[in-house]
A = this chain, B = another copy of it.
């Protein structure tokens, strides 16, 4: 050995230890589903997580065994992230909005041995538990959910708060999250200690989540989504305060933001629409809020404008379960001060820049890398330390021959390095050898007064291969005709993008994560044409 630096495996439990030591009394506030407000802190999270890890060890935990959760955001869910990892195991967050069929599939595929759930989801557990023979212990996160269920507090009560974490390699798994995929069975992404630590370091950076010891983060995104967007790890690393709400009631969230001094928040666009409604009704201000990360789906321009005008920085982010999830984020570029208001909003509306740690490229149908000219769209591919290589229990890697993960998104990269999603590859409409972006079409239609929501899909066409068809949901008080839509679109889109058919519907089908389920629309059309 020539000499060198110390050898340490980077484990997520080190992050919690850091928070428990250096930010011991920094508050973790929980608004429980029953309306109780609980004040804890990183020191207590550390002790409780050790109790849980100790308890799991007592019941014979093996390396990489899974703890399932069906839960909203709260102290006990956060503790489970670390307690499972600290026993050498894996926290497996299940999305409660999935179908019963998917939940059963996922829990059995993951082979969860212990399963924690919120009292509000007890009906799901009551109904499905007989189909989950792998689960040895069903435990309720809340203090009292009736039935024979043990509570989380009781479960960890005889665990040792000074327990020594199970150690191991930084490449060991510590988290599992299934994609709510629109086709086929859900696929599990297995996060590692190393990938989560490096991802958390990125998250803290000024051009990503920008969190530090003075920040108070309210992750409105459920932490059962996509690795909790990394917040459970990043916040501990920064030693910041956290506010966790088991309720997504805008009234509750708004009160928490203002009364708990929330400076940072992260969530999907629909959450902000709810908060705006609450704000309009109550007339309150934003309190200490200064930075909002919006991801999950594209943020509407009006939302970005409203927040920006209120002096709040918007970090428009793109990512997916397979990317831990940060892929890009719309951090302010070097020339921000020189940009006009319109240029800034235009920029934020795109998906943002590529942080250190990942690489992105756009390739055409033949796999040829496209230039960063803002025009050449193609398949968006990604690589990096926190990007999936192989789905859980899969037989082979999910990478291209040269090691990239294909995201299933269609995108362009602009000369300034800003990435812009133009569509999902399965939603792009291929007409006469050209591509029509269903997202662009929908975004344009949504600008039409009276339109609440819209979905564009490609329908088979003998001459053009596919032609666009539009489903439109009108606002409650609006009456629109197809002519109103086409007149509105006429000078806003290329002529050949004009939908061949426009259909008004009372509502659109959505996935468990709130995305429009275009597969259901296509299936509906198929049945209409071909019969079931």
Contact = CB atoms under 8 A, between A and B. Distances in A.
A443 interface: no
Contacts of A204: 205-206, 356
Specify how many copies of this chain sit in the oligomer: 2
A5 B194 contact: yes
B205 A10 contact: no
Nearest to A204: B205
Taking each of A237, A241, A394, which has the highest tally of chain B beta carbons within 10 Å of its own beta carbon? A237
A359 B388 CA distance: 30
A457 interface: no
Contact of A332 (B23, B189, B213): B213
Given A18-B356, A212-B205, A334-B213, A190 B237 contact: no
Interface in A190-247: 190-192, 194-195, 198, 201-202, 204-207, 210-214, 237-241
Interface residues of A, number: 70
A385 B10 contact: yes
Contact of A202 (B22, B201, B241, B417): B201
A171 interface: yes
Contacts of A306: none
Nearest to A215: B206
A98 B385 CA distance: 41
A103 B238 CA distance: 41
A212 B5 CA distance: 27
30 contacts: A1-B390, A2-B64, A2-B173, A3-B388, A4-B389, A5-B194, A5-B195, A5-B324, A5-B385, A6-B383, A6-B385, A6-B388, A6-B389, A6-B399, A6-B403, A10-B198, A24-B417, A201-B201, A201-B356, A204-B206, A206-B210, A206-B212, A212-B331, A213-B332, A213-B334, A214-B332, A214-B334, A237-B356, A238-B356, A239-B334
For the complex of A and B, list the 4 residue pairs with the smallest distance between their C-beta atoms, beginning with the closest: A206-B212, A3-B392, A5-B195, A3-B190
